[in-house]
Structure 1
Amino acid sequence: MPYTLQRLAAGSYDLLLDGEFVGSVVRDLSGGGDVRGWQAELLSAAPPMPTPFTKEAHRFETLEAARKWLDATITEDEAASLTAP
C-alpha cells in the first residue's frame, strides 16, 4: 500500500494512503520543547486498520524510522526534514 507523507508544518505530516487522508505523523515534544520521538496515528481505530497498523498509534524515535515502517514516500523538498531532531 503506497503511503505518502505531506508536510503541514515543522514536525507535522498528513498521512495519505493511496491519496486518501487516513492519519498523521507528528513530532512528540516534552513540556520543555525537547523532541521525544514521532508518532504515526490513524484518524480512526475502527477495523480494519491499514497495514502495518495494529493499533491506533505507533511511536518511533525518528521520522525516518516511521517513514520506513510505513514504507512511505516524502516529496524531495520535504526529505531534508528527515535529519531534523
Structure 2
Amino acid sequence: MTYSLIQLAPGAYDLLLNGEVIGSVVRTGERSNNTVWTAELLENLPHGQRPAPFVEVEHTFLTLEPLCDWLGDPQVKSNFGRSAIARSA
C-alpha cells in the first residue's frame, strides 16, 4: 500500500492510498502548545476493511513526523498556494 499526502493549507492534508483520497491529516491546537496531528479515514469501515495500519478510524500523534513514519513515509506534495488551473497541470 502506498500512501501520499497532498497539502491543502498549513496543517491540512488529503490522505491518499494508491492515488485515491481515503482520509485526511490535520493539525489541531496552537503551533507551540497542545498540538495534535490526526489521521482520519473518510469512512467508518469495519475493522477488517480498514487499510493498514489503521486499527481505528482516527489515530493521533504529537508531531507530523511519527504520523508519516506510521504511514510508511508517504510522498508529500503541496497544492497550497496554487490555483486550480496549476493543480490540474
TM-score (norm. length: structure 2): 0.76
Structure 2 distance, partners of 1:24, 1:3, is 11
Q: Which structure has more RCO (C-alpha within 8 Å, separation ≥ 6)?
A: 2
Provide the secondary structure at the position in 2 that maps to 1:58.
strand
Runs of 4+ in 1 over 6 A off after TM superposition: none
Instruction: Give 1:68's aligned residue.
Output: 69
Unaligned 5+ segments in structure 1 are 79-85
Q: Is the 8 A contact 1:6 1:13 kept in 2?
A: yes
Provide the secondary structure at the position in 2 that maps to 1:15.
strand
- How far did 1:34 drift? 3.8
Structure 2 distance, partners of 1:44, 1:14, is 14
Provide the secondary structure at the position in 2 that maps to 1:39.
strand
Structure number with the higher strand fraction is 1
TM-score (norm. length: structure 1): 0.79
Q: Is the 8 A contact 1:67 1:73 kept in 2?
A: no
Residue by residue, what CA displacement relative to the aligned partner does 1:3-30 show, whole Å, maximum 9, x if unpaired? 0000000000000000000000000115
Structure 2 distance, partners of 1:9, 1:39, is 15
Instruction: Give 1:83's aligned residue.
Output: none
Q: How many residue pairs are counted as aligned between the two chains?
A: 75
Instruction: Name the stretch that deviates more: 63-72 or 4-13.
Output: 63-72
User: Are positions 1:45 and 2:50 aligned together?
Assistant: no
Unaligned 5+ segments in structure 2 are 80-89
